[in-house]
Amino acid sequence: MFLRLAEQHRKFVQDLVMNLQALAIVLERRGYLASCYTCGGQMNSASFMVSLTDNHLIRFLVSDYGITWTEMRDDRELMKLEGAEAISQLQELANLVKYQIQPSDATLATAQRV
């Protein structure tokens, strides 16, 4: 049972990394500064970053050890989430892209939650 769970987790992380890479590409095409870096060819970890506006940065890290979402403005941490909450926040970012909301609108949406 535990070996099966470990394999499912590895596949989950790989899927998440692939989706982060795709999201970074879409964001770049929409004019955002975005990047997604992976280490090695196994895609078992990634560092995703996007700048929504000047001095407003989102960092999403995923690895076998955990998942974190960190939102910063003016080099100050506004919010840090882990696990399922971090993935939910990532979905909100993807929805902003999907519905083509401008960066200033994204900033307003985030500011209202904090």
Show me where the domains of the chain are located: 2-113
d(Cα 90, Cα 73) in Å, to the nearest integer? 17
Strand partners, 57: 51, 72
Q: Is the pLDDT of residue 4 over 90?
A: yes
Asked if 100 contacts 31 with a C-beta cutoff of 8 angstroms, the reply is no
pLDDT confidence tier of residue 18, bands split at 50, 70 and 90: very high
Residue 66 burial (CB count, 10 A): 10
Q: Is the pLDDT of residue 16 over 90?
A: yes
What mean pLDDT is predicted for residues 59-73?
Answer: 94
User: What global pTM score does this model have?
Assistant: 0.82
Asked if 36 contacts 46 with a C-beta cutoff of 8 angstroms, the reply is yes
The pLDDT of residue 102 is: 61
Rg (CA), the chain: 14
pLDDT confidence tier of residue 25, bands split at 50, 70 and 90: very high
In the numeric block, which tokens belong to residue 99? 């519905």
